[in-house]
Chains A and B, each alone.
Chain A
């Protein structure tokens, strides 16, 4: 018997970051009974670490800017497997979503005219790539994520959203029709396990950068949503596509915003050469992130890396002057002094490509409805289940995300999910109740960990997993190597399933949470590995030494990973725009 308490809501959002709180705000304003389940206090979510800004054609820097140019850049940046319909929706709706945030109080930096300050970011152009570099990233100094997340939390306080802070969602509850009818969750402070029942369950659980040893991501980015979806038998899409940010601080992994290069900083090798001029003669240091990251790794592999071990390059900022750095990049000065022991005012920052963003995730449509693929290859909506933000793959980033597009993605699609659910609730949602057995099934993983004995510690297993992913599924990938990596993951799987929880106490038991997170990390890592080995081409962030060319004939499509068979399928990319003809794939150069 599943002898646990039930709490009922119209809508439950799992995750208190940017997309979750934007969705929650929409629903709270509509008056529906909404709760946010978040494993950390909302302003501790990883959105807080976003620095450089939120890209959107609000026509402040350039009064003639057009959202269509932003759409073109995003499609090109995605290496043509971003869904054009979703990208069109994001770029067109974006300005409205940004102005809403400003009206809510977001403290954007300003221009002399009093408008929102915009800075140049990588992959941005005017006039469909023909008009030179654009400056389209709206910024609050270099603390845009912090400003955005706090503003959204404040908006939710104003609208009296219910927060279940420091609660951890364990698994999805499905009814007999395979519809999602809530989650089983733990109140971390008391240890109580509760069935949180809902007519609409939104996963806004963020990324999973902690599958890699070196990552810009917070400790909490453990792929909980992807893990839960996979355990429920739902597929994930383009999960092989991981962005390595060019500028993570060497050794520490902490992020240094692309805004540094937007403001005029550039990368140099040990000879002091501005090497991006060779790899991307036009955009130079503001080429796509995948392009810059690969160029850096090549410099290092060819012996032009910096430092005693030649294992990083330098980001030079001192030529911008102390005044500009203090005004535009104050947070970077702090981070570099603290973690690199380098003062950017006088010396360069040691940087190296570092795992940063999960382009793949739970496939959804533009309304946030999660999708699966039926046996005839058609999209099928999963009733009751929604996703937005980094956990989702809607897909606006395709094979490579442009800087500043993640914050826009989470605001636009958090909002879209909220609006769509509101409409559905108004029309009436009728899902069958979960049976006792349905709830018990969602508790199996938790019960196994609660009853564990004799296994290995989560911390040891986690470190091993991160090392495998770092070594075998990094910036450059090779088939035989990845097969070896998959073998190692296969050997690790039973050990991770058998993880021991020695501390069985109820009060704020973080060891229990870490053992559960480890299961999600593994599920995400395994899907990544199988999808990466399966996509036999190079596209965007997925660069294979054994298949160096983009293969549009076979792979101009999404990959879809099915957890039950552990196999890879394909799903068509959307090439249907509402406002113009689609952008046909072209060779991608910067």
Chain B
């Protein structure tokens, strides 16, 4: 039997959050953390978490698993269980709505701040805008972000200034548009980021890189933005 400890909080009945212990029979199988949560929910329907695609592409089930942020659906027990114990908490640093469900408004607000859409006011051609495979390759490692918030909620700078520091996820997306040969708003984008907090609160701690379930590297993207900002200032 696997010992599972889960963060519980229902604001309608609990005065404060608590950890609840469960025992789960996994029949020795190396299932995913989400499978454990689903199994527990059949027994206790009040257990609350988000989930959708169950294959690591929708970004719904970011949680803190035995101390490390990750997606429950693609984290096998073999990576998550320590000493026959699995501990599941909500992603840290954002308000908890209920159990493992957090309020992601601040995270989304930072995403919206970077103008996460193509800006190109030149008249569009009758077909697609051309882009070479080399130019397109610059978007690899950027566009794949699934907005799960594992990175930003692992970032001490984001915990400290969630309202002013864009955070690794938002900055990765900021660079996705800066790096796109089809986007023409580079100056405007850089101007929007040019303050002491938006980018420069990143201290290169690299928790974001360590936890990203898609293997992306926000720190590297932030480095590129820094260089662009410094270059544009000189």
Q: Which A residues have a C-beta under 8 Å from some C-beta of B? A: 40-41, 43-46, 48-49, 58, 95, 98-99, 102-105, 107-116, 140, 143, 146-147, 150, 154-155, 157-158, 189, 218-220, 254-255, 331, 334-335, 338-339, 457-460, 502-503, 505-511, 514
Number of A-B contacts (CB under 8 A): 149
B139-147, B155-163, B224-232 - interface stretch: B139-147
The closest CB in chain B to the CB of A103 belongs to: B124
Contact A154 B45 (CB under 8 A): no
Q: Are A511 and B45 in contact (CB under 8 A)?
A: yes
Contact assessment for B130 and A218 in the assembled complex, using a CB-CB cutoff below 8 Å: no
State the 6 A-B residue pairs at the shortest beta-carbon distance, nearest first.
Answer: A105-B118, A114-B130, A154-B117, A511-B45, A459-B42, A102-B128
Q: How far is the CB of B26 from chain A (nearest CB, A)?
A: 15
Docked Cα-Cα span, A254 to B55, in Å, equals: 7
Q: Could you say which residues of chain A place their CB within 8 Å of the CB of B76? A: 338
Q: B17 to nearest A CB, angstroms?
A: 13
Check if B118 sits within 8 Å of A104, measured CB to CB: yes
Other-chain contact of B58, A155, A218, A338 (Cβ < 8 Å): A218
Cross-chain contact of B182 among A45, A105, A219 (Cβ < 8 A): A105
B60 contacts partner chain A, Cβ-Cβ < 8 Å: yes
- Which A residues are in CB contact (< 8 Å) with B57? 48-49, 143, 146, 331
Contact yes or no, A116 B128, CB < 8 A: yes
Contact B53 A49 (CB under 8 A): yes
Q: Say yes or no: is B97 at the interface (Cβ < 8 Å to chain A).
A: yes
Chain A residues with CB under 8 Å of B139's CB are: 107
Judge whether B67 is part of the interface by a CB distance below 8 angstroms: no
A507-B128 contact given A44-B59, A457-B45, CB 8 Å threshold: no
B46 interface residue, CB < 8 Å from A?
Answer: yes
Bound-complex Cα distance A143 to B139 (A): 13
Q: Closest chain B residue to A59 by CB distance? A: B127
Closest B-chain residue to A457, C-beta based?
B45
Given contacts A102-B128, A104-B117, A460-B42, contact A46 B52 (CB under 8 A): yes
**Cα–Cα distance between A189 and B84 once the two chains are bound (Å):** 34
B60 neighbours in A (Cβ, 8 Å): 40-41, 44
Decide yes or no: A115 and B130 within 8 Å by CB, A107-B136, A109-B136 being known contacts: yes
Q: Apart from A107-B136, A505-B13, what are 19 other A-B pairs with CB-CB below 8 Å?
A: A40-B52, A40-B58, A41-B104, A43-B59, A95-B127, A105-B117, A110-B136, A112-B132, A146-B57, A147-B143, A154-B117, A157-B116, A189-B97, A218-B52, A254-B54, A331-B57, A335-B56, A508-B48, A510-B49
Closest to B214 in A: A334
A40 and B133 in contact, given A99-B128, A507-B98 (Cβ under 8 angstroms): no
Asked if B52 and A44 sit within 8 Å, CB to CB, the answer is yes
Distance A507 CA – B182 CA, assembled complex (angstroms): 44
Given contacts A40-B50, A157-B112, A508-B98, contact A110 B132 (CB under 8 A): yes
What separation, in Å, do the CA atoms of A157 and B42 have in the docked complex? Answer: 37
What's the Cα separation between A255 and B112 when bound, in Å? 31
How far is it, in angstroms, between the C-alpha of A45 and the C-alpha of B54 when the chains are bound?
A: 12
Q: Is B12's CB under 8 angstroms from A338's CB?
A: no
Shortest distance between the CB of B174 and any CB in chain A (Å):
13
Residue numbers in A under 8 Å from B81 (CB-CB): none
Contacts of B104 in A (CB 8 A): 41
Contact B53 A218 (CB under 8 A): yes
Looking at the assembled complex, report how far the CB atom of B88 sits from the nearest CB atom of chain A, in whole angstroms: 16
Q: How far is the CB of B180 from chain A (nearest CB, A)?
A: 7
- Whether the Cβ atoms of B131 and A458 lie closer than 8 Å is no
B1 to chain A, nearest CB (A): 21
Give the dominant DSSP class at B's interface.
Answer: loop
- Name the residue on A nearest B98 (C-beta): A508
B51 closest partner in A (C-beta): A219
B52-76 CB contact bits vs A (8 Å, 1 = yes)?
A: 1111111110000000000000101
Q: Does B203 contact A (CB under 8 A)?
A: no
**If A457-B42, A457-B45, A508-B98 touch, does A146 touch B144 (CB 8 Å cutoff)?**
yes
Distance in angstroms between the alpha carbons of A265 and B42 in the assembled complex? 39
CB contact under 8 A between A48 and B53, given known A338-B74, A459-B42, A510-B48: yes
CB 8 Å contact bits of B71-111 with A (1 = contact, 0 = none): 00010100000000000000000000110010010001000
A-side contacts of B51, CB under 8 Å: 219
List the B side residues contacting A458 at CB < 8 Å: 45
Q: What per-residue 1/0 map shows which CB atoms of B28-54 lie under 8 Å from chain A? A: 000000000000011001101111111
**A and B contact pairs by CB, cutoff 8 A, 17 listed:** A40-B52, A107-B180, A108-B136, A114-B132, A114-B133, A115-B128, A218-B53, A220-B52, A255-B55, A338-B76, A457-B45, A502-B46, A507-B10, A507-B11, A507-B98, A511-B46, A514-B45
A508 to B104, CA, bound (A): 14
Question: How far does the alpha carbon of A43 sit from the alpha carbon of B136 in the complex, in Å?
Answer: 22
- Could you tell me if A503 and B101 are in contact, using CB atoms closer than 8 angstroms? no
Interface flags for B11-24 (1: CB within 8 Å of A; 0: not) read 11100000000000
Q: Please give the distance in Å from A113's CB to the nearest CB on chain B.
A: 7
Residues of B within 8 A of A115 (CB): 127-128, 130
Residues of B within 8 A of A154 (CB): 116-118
B103 vs chain A, min Cβ distance (A): 8
* Contact assessment for B117 and A58 in the assembled complex, using a CB-CB cutoff below 8 Å: no
Q: Residue B233 at the A interface, CB < 8 A?
A: no
